[in-house]
Amino acid sequence: MNKLNISINLLGLQGASLITSKAGTECVVIDLSRARATKHANGKVYLNLEAKENRDGVDRYGNTHFVAEPTTKDERQGGLKLPSIGNGKVFTFEKRPQGQQDAPKRQETAKAEPEIYTDANGDDIPF
């Protein structure tokens, strides 16, 4: 069985910024008007990414793939190239013998109350 382990630079996403809350917590905020993320009617926000094999094979860190936000055919024909925002490497695992159980699942932790955050201009961000 194969697994693709991916590492993504969140600040490489279109419309992403690093801000600091009034409490001093660093947060990544994505401006949906500039991002390629899509807010659906169900209230969830989705971001499509694609992982492709490196043209030159394995890099010096053992990565076999790169990750980028996909472009449309028209964007590619217009010369738009979005940056690579991550890398990945393939791990291969042997199949488990029959009867061996899966590892226990991690339990969800309680969610903290939302904080008020500010952007670089000091404006409150309501979340």
120, with CB counted inside 10 A (0-12, 13-18, 19+), is exposed
Cβ contact 51:65 at 8 Å: yes
Q: What percent of the chain has pLDDT over 70?
A: 75
Q: What is the mean pLDDT of the chain?
A: 81
**Banded model confidence at residue 31, pLDDT cuts 50, 70, 90:** very high
